C-alpha cells in the first residue's frame, strides 16, 4: 500500500477564521520531526540552563524546608536567572519558527537545511531580541493604564517578529508595519490568540497538575517535601518549560498564517508571488524551447548537409550511368553499321 503524499502548506493565501486555526496545527504536525530538531538545537541550550537553575533553586528550597529556615537571597538570584533565560529561549523560539517558515515559503519544503535556518536566525536574532525588550516595556507601560492599552498593544504589535524575518525590516519599521497590517483586523487576531491561549492553558495542566499534587500531598501530611517529591517537581517543571517553547512556536505559526492571510487580502501578495512564479516558469520554458530549437536547427543543418552530399553522389552516379549508357548505345550502333556494311559488301560481290 502506497503512502499518501502529504500536501504542502500554502502560507500565501487568504483564509477564513477556521483555517487560521486548523492550518497551523496541520503544518506543525507535518513538520514536527524536522522543526522539533531545529527548536531543540537552537532553543535547547537555553532550556538546559533554565532546567539547571530550576534544580538549584529546588534544592535550596528543599534545604530551607527541612531546616525550618527562610530561603536565602540566592533563591531570588536563581529566580531572576530563570526568568532571564526563559525570555531568551522565548525570543530564540520565535526567531527559529519564523526563520523556518520564511525558508519554507521562499525555498520550498525540503529545500533547506538546519544550517540555513541557523544562519537566518543569526542575522535576525538581535533585532528580535532588542525589539522584544522594547515591545515588552511598551506593553508593561500600557498595562499600567487599566490593562486595556496593554492588551491592545500586545495584539497590535504581534507581527513585529515575522516582519523582521520575512520583510528584512528594522525594529521601528517592523512595529509600525505591524500596526498597519492589523488595522481593521484587531478583533480577529485577538480571537485567534485568545482561543489558542485557552487551548494551551488546558494542555499545560498535563504538566501543572502533578506539581500541585506534590504540594497538596505534602500540605495534607504536614511534612516537608521529600527528595523524591523534589525530583518529581523538577521533572515536571522541566517538561513544562520544554512544552512551553513548542507552544510558543505553534503560536507564532498561527500568527504567521494570520500575517500572510492579511497581506494577501490587503496587498495581493499571493497574486504577485504567483505572477512572478508564472513569469519564471515562462522564462524556463522559453529557454528550453530555444535550446530545443537550436538543437533541432543543428540537427537540421547536419541532415541538410548529408542530403546535399547524397544528392551530389546520386547525380554523379546518374551521370556516370548515362555516360556508360551513351557509350554502350554508340558501340551498338557502330556494330550495327559495320554489320550492314558487311552485308552490302557480300551482296555486291
- Domain ranges for the chain, please list them: 17-267, 271-349
Report whether 238 contacts 51 (CB < 8 A).
Answer: yes
Q: What is the dihedral of CA 282, 284, 285, 287, to 10 degrees?
A: 120
The confidence score (pLDDT) of residue 226 equals 60
The closest alpha carbon to 191, from 329, 321, 18, 27, belongs to: 18
Tens digit of each residue's pLDDT, the chain (349 residues):
344 445 688 888 888 888 888 888 889 888 888 988 999 899 989 988 888 888 777 777 666 666 666 666 677 787 888 888 888 888 999 999 999 999 998 888 888 889 999 999 999 989 998 988 888 888 888 888 777 888 898 899 999 999 999 988 888 889 999 999 998 899 999 998 899 888 888 887 777 787 777 667 766 655 555 666 667 777 888 888 888 888 888 889 999 999 999 988 877 765 555 555 545 555 555 555 555 545 555 555 666 666 667 666 766 666 666 555 555 555 555 554 455 444 443 444 4
Q: Please tell me the distance from the alpha carbon of residue 232 to that of residue 209, in angstroms, as a whole number.
A: 12
Q: All 3 cell numbers of residue 260? A: 500572510
Q: Please tell me the distance from the alpha carbon of residue 107 to that of residue 100, in angstroms, as a whole number.
A: 10
Q: All 3 cell numbers of residue 335? A: 556494330
Helices and strands of the chain, counted as H and E runs: 10, 0
Q: How far is CA 93 from the centre of its chain?
A: 15
The confidence score (pLDDT) of residue 347 equals 45
156-162: long-range pairs with CB below 8 Å, 24+: 156/182, 156/186, 158/182, 158/189, 158/193, 158/255, 159/255, 159/258, 159/259, 160/131, 160/135, 161/94, 161/95, 161/98, 161/128, 161/131, 161/132, 161/252, 162/98, 162/101, 162/252, 162/255, 162/256, 162/259
pTM for this one?
0.70
Q: What is the dihedral of CA 294, 295, 300, 305, to 10 degrees?
A: 100
The confidence score (pLDDT) of residue 201 equals 80
Report whether 133 contacts 196 (CB < 8 A).
Answer: no
Q: Which residues, 6 or more positions from 6, have their beta carbon under 8 angstroms from its beta carbon?
A: 30
CA gyration radius, the chain: 41
Q: Please tell me the distance from the alpha carbon of residue 26 to that of residue 14, in angstroms, as a whole number.
A: 17
Q: Cell 517537581 belongs to which residue?
A: 233
The total of other beta-carbon atoms located within 10 Å of residue 265's CB is 15
Amino acid at each position: 500500500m502506497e503512502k499518501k503524499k502529504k500536501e504542502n502548506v500554502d502560507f500565501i493565501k487568504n483564509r477564513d477564521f477556521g483555517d487560521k486555526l486548523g492550518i497551523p496545527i496541520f503544518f506543525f504536525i507535518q513538520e514536527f520531526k524536522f522543526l522539533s530538531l531545529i527548536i531543540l538545537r537552537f532553543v535547547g541550550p537555553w532550556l538546559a540552563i533554565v532546567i539547571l537553575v530550576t534544580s538549584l533553586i529546588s534544592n535550596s528550597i528543599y534545604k530551607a524546608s527541612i531546616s525550618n529556615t527562610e530561603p536565602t537571597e540566592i533563591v531570588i538570584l536563581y529566580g531572576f536567572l530563570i526568568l532571564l533565560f526563559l525570555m531568551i529561549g522565548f525570543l530564540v523560539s520565535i526567531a527559529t519558527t519564523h526563520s523556518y517558515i520564511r525558508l519554507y515559503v521562499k525555498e520550498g519544503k525540503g529545500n533547506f537545511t538546519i544550517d540555513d535556518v541557523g544562519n537566518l536566525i543569526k542575522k535576525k536574532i538581535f533585532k528580535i531580541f532588542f525589539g522584544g525588550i522594547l515591545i515588552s516595556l511598551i506593553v508593561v507601560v500600557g498595562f499600567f493604564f487599566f490593562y486595556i492599552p496593554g492588551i491592545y498593544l500586545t495584539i497590535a504589535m504581534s507581527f513585529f517578529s515575522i516582519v523582521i524575518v520575512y520583510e528584512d525590516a528594522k525594529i521601528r519599521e517592523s512595529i509600525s508595519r505591524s500596526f498597519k497590517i492589523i488595522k481593521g483586523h484587531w478583533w480577529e487576531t485577538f480571537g485567534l490568540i485568545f482561543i489558542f491561549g485557552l487551548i494551551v492553558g488546558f494542555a499545560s495542566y498535563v504538566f501543572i497538575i502533578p506539581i500541585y499534587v506534590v504540594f497538596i500531598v505534602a500540605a495534607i501530611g504536614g511534612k516537608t517535601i521529600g527528595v523524591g517529591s523534589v525530583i518529581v517537581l523538577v521533572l515536571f517543571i522541566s517538561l513544562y518549560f520544554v512544552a512551553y517553547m513548542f507552544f510558543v512556536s505553534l503560536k507564532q505559526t498561527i500568527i504567521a498564517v494570520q500575517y500572510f492571510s492579511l497581506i494577501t487580502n490587503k496587498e495581493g501578495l499571493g497574486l504577485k508571488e504567483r505572477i512572478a512564479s508564472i513569469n519564471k516558469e515562462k522564462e524556463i520554458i522559453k529557454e528550453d524551447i530555444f535550446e530545443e530549437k537550436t538543437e533541432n536547427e543543428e540537427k537540421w543543418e547536419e541532415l541538410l548537409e548529408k542530403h546535399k552530399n547524397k544528392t551530389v553522389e546520386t547525380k554523379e552516379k546518374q551521370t556516370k550511368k548515362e555516360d556508360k549508357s551513351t557509350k554502350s548505345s554508340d558501340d551498338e550502333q557502330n556494330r550495327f553499321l559495320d554489320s550492314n556494311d558487311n552485308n552490302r559488301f557480300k551482296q555486291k560481290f
